[in-house]
Amino acid sequence: MTDEPLTPIPPAIRRRLICGNWKMNHTHFEAVQMIHHFSASITEEDLAAVEVSIHPPFTDLRSVQTVLESEKISVVLGAQHCYFEPKGAFTGEISPNMLAKLHVGYVIVGHSERRLILGQSDEVVAKTLRAVLAAGMSPILCVGESKDVRDSGGAQSHVMAQLRSALQGLSPALVQRCVVAYEPIWAIGTGVNASTMDAQEMCQVIREEIETIVGPGVGSGVRILYGGSVTPDNARSLCRQKDVDGLLVGGASLDGDSFAKVVKAAGR
């Protein structure tokens, strides 16, 4: 494992990051159309105001990479998942290095859909996060509580336990290359986003907890995103919170026009 950042470079100031998570949507044909639609709906200035990543399914990655690079669109290629082993007999899995070779910059790790539907444990999340870092990419670590946990008052302790299990033992230099996304499960795909106050509060607590886990001064350099029913209408107010450094966008990132509106709103 290396402590040296390869790509992307960790931000000196926390540059806002807007990530489009397509989940299991768009064939590679549709993916190319979406990227064209998106780039026609946005200006270079909009893309300079924030950092943008797009996370298509594996089968779309090469096509999206080719369009982004050949048309010089300032969007970082992202992935939604990978396996933690470098190679071998793991049918159906994709290694971190396979993604890095496609110039993937960010990999979503521990999304609640993978944790809940596909049984990804905290232990696997921690291993995957380390494997992504070792391959020179930045993990976007997803944490978040269910509605039951929130209603019972356990949201913060649940999220802190997820955070601790993923980050404990990593050096400050490696943690500064990580992005954390607070995604309350009850807000994902429901049309009910967390209030700006709740999003701010949890992102602030996450930042403070990073200082406790890794060391003083580290949390202030880590970008913390909010995700869950982000739309062009709520993107701006969520992004204006002191500790919300960007957004992880699902449904609203599928359409070029709507994702462009989210990016523009977040950059204002």
Q: What is the DSSP string of 94-126?
A: --HHHHHTTTEEEEEES-HHHHHHS---HHHHH
> Of the listed 111, 113, 145, 209, which one is catalytic?
111
Backbone φ and ψ for 188, nearest 5 degrees, come out as -80, 120
Residue whose CB is less far from ligand PGA, 213 or 248: 248
> Of the listed 51, 145, 183, 209, which one is catalytic?
183
145 neighbors 188 (Cβ within 8 angstroms): no
Which of 55, 63, 6 lies closest to 29, judged by CA?
63
Residue whose CB is less far from ligand PGA, 78 or 250: 250
192 neighbors 231 (Cβ within 8 angstroms): no
Residue whose CB is less far from ligand PGA, 155 or 247: 247
Residue whose CB is less far from ligand PGA, 56 or 136: 56
Residue identified by tokens 């080719």 is 66
- Min dist CB 102 to ligand PGA, Å, is 21
Active-site annotation holds for 183? yes
- Min dist CB 38 to ligand PGA, Å, is 16
CA distances to 11, 92, 137 from 88, in Å: 34, 11, 20
- Min dist CB 183 to ligand PGA, Å, is 6
Active-site annotation holds for 55? no
Q: Binding residues for ligand PGA, per CB under 6 A?
A: 21, 183, 188-189, 227-230, 248-252
The residues assigned a catalytic role are 111, 183
